[in-house]
Structure 1
């Protein structure tokens, strides 16, 4: 291949959530469809997932989790602001509501993030290649400053900034998902300056909010990559060949989860048990997608290759 036009990082989220999910993620990596994973260290299969990453040389980052399952820090008791009934985190929207109402104690966020990074080191024997956020908690106001500071302490350079070009025009998204995705994008846009000030880096562009689950297809991945390139380069740069643009594609492939050997302590959620995870896996493995990569001078690479 000539010099690539796009260097595409394909990240598989939720590694360690379920043995069946992990199986699909490993298959995708070995087939050249994924370039790395993000590990949930409080996931039901975190230990065996870490063993798989080490065995197969899978680049692994931390999927920082403040919203699902049980905390890693032993000192976060039932009265902690991050914890709800049963000793579990408050949930995707519950955490956001508590944060907006000023009920989340940010020192607890710092403590839990440090504990998760320590757990990652115990499992993998090294610092993560990157840290992103489960359900995008890392870009939320207040959390993002603490998050960036903890990453700096640990010397982690790369994170995810989920701002996707043209997201508002993706009219196939269901209303609830669209509203959430646009809110995530707004928070991520606001996080950029604070991340930059603390020395964090991320790819030139991000895609994946418009291609989750049933919404993923070869043509939509192709279109999202083109929108990403156009958001980074001017028309003149594109016509002249320009420089290679780095793009991260967020994915959630795998086989459907089953109880009780999955989740983060509360069992698997509906999305993880659905056919949509398998649909993502099949799409990412589709030869048509890989032919498209070759035809469009898109080269898959890991974050650590940048």
Structure 2
């Protein structure tokens, strides 16, 4: 069998969010369109997701959540992780509390450890990888706690969301482009922290420019083109892109396959009041965008493209 040009981990995020999400992700896996999933252990259907993963032998990691819904840990007294209603502060609210200096990092650590333990209770094993819901794991200070937790549990892989081609993508609206640019900046600053703790990640990250309605065969092929064109230095296996590179692509050439992760969010639309992480499903989960991703990922033309271009779908453990 010829050597693949790209070893691609296609990760279905938000597994456990609701039963319809779980069924869509599992359908994608069974169709050969997703090779790996990330579990929200505080999701309303986390137990169902773990059962599906066990039944179908779906490779599964932890989607650590500090921003949506309710916590897993039972921390005494008022927690800086929570708002007055007892929920996490939200994607931007969490960032505001962190920037204000009011976030207790000991509480962050306790919650992350509780989520790893809950994952083990649900699945019977440690996660093969651990990333952050809404990219909270690369935020200042949080990244240090996150890396220490991964190191302590011996979880070897994470995600560094620096996407080549992001700044040249015309389909990303300005407000998302601003958010993604900040995510990229935080991710690049996380490289040395993760490296110092012996944590690894694929050579190329993809998925910001292909979310929801932006996912199409054309956009996926465009994004995958960066992985196909990547030239990586000898001996640099699963390491970070250079910190002075906006593309994450390094030189010179080598014969080994490029490793890449494609973040996706397939599923069937959530029904009102069913699912979520303690507050019900959000608008994106109830939209047709989830099913649009599912159908695009299962498209035979995309699966043929993988074969034609030497893109081999795999898991983090395979790397």
**TM-score class normalised by the smaller sequence:** over 0.9
Q: 1:271 aligns with which of 284, 287, 290?
A: 284
Other-structure match for 1:8: 8
Give distance in 2, aligned partners of 1:52 and 1:7: 25
Contact 2:13 2:37 in 1 (8 A): yes
- The 1-side partners of 2:151 and 2:49 are apart by 26
Larger displacement relative to structure 2 (181-190 or 222-231): 222-231
Q: Distance in 1 between matches of 2:258 and 2:224?
A: 10
Corresponding residue SS for 1:282: helix
Measured in 2, the distance between the counterparts of 1:67 and 1:162 equals 17
More helix by share: 1
- Other structure's SS at 2:261 match: strand
Deviation at 1:235, TM superposition (A): 7.4
Q: 1:157: how far off?
A: 0.3
| Residue in structure 2 matched with residue 217 of structure 1 by the alignment | 216
How far did 1:52 drift? 0.7
Number of matched residues? 302
How far the C-alpha of 1:259 sits from its partner, in A, is 2.6
Determine if contact 2:28/2:294 at 8 Å carries over to the other structure: yes
- CA distance 1:82–1:236, change in 2 (3 Å): closer
**1:164/1:228 contact within 8 Å kept:** no
Q: How far apart, in 2, do the equivalents of 1:121 and 1:271 lie?
A: 28
- Specify whether residues 55 and 76 from structure 1 end up closer, same or farther in structure 2 by C-alpha distance, changes over 3 A only: farther
CA distance in structure 2 between the aligned counterparts of 1:199 and 1:296, rounded to whole angstroms: 32
* 1:118 lines up with 2:131 in the alignment: no
Alpha-carbon separation, structure 1, partners of 2:129 and 2:318: 12
On the 8 A contact 2:230/2:258 being kept in 1, the answer is: no
Superposed displacement of residue 202, structure 1: 0.5
Give yes or no for the alignment of 1:260 onto 2:273.
Answer: yes
**Which residue is 1:288 aligned to?**
301
Deviation at 1:85, TM superposition (A): 2.4
Q: CA deviation at 1:106?
A: 0.4
Q: Tell me the CA shift for residue 231 of structure 1.
A: 4.5
Q: Deviations over 1:29-75 (max 9, x none)?
A: 01110111000000000011111111111110000000000000011
Separation of aligned partners in 1, 2:82 and 2:231 = 40
Write the distance in 2 (CA, Å) between the matches of 1:213 and 1:69. 22
Residue range with higher mean Cα deviation, 214-223 or 123-132:
214-223
Matches within 5 A, 1:38-57: 38-57=38-57
**Structure 2 SS opposite 1:267:** coil
Any stretches of 5+ residues in structure 1 without a counterpart?
Answer: none
Indicate whether 1:246 and 2:259 are aligned: yes
Distance 1:141 1:179, change over 3 A: same
Matches within 5 A, 1:1-306: 1-75=1-75, 77=77, 79-233=78-232, 237=253, 242-306=255-319
CA RMSD in angstroms, aligned pairs only: 1.3
Say which SS state the counterpart of residue 273 (structure 2) adopts: coil
Quote the offset at 1:76 in angstroms: 5.4
In structure 2, the gaps of 5 or more residues are 233-249
User: How far apart, in 1, do the equivalents of 2:143 and 2:252 lie?
Assistant: 35
CA distance in 2, matches of 1:182, 1:102: 22
CA contact (8 A) 1:45 1:261 kept: no
Give 1:223 deviation, angstroms: 1.3
Q: Is the 8 A contact 2:231 2:252 kept in 1?
A: no
- Higher mean displacement: 162-171 or 68-77: 68-77
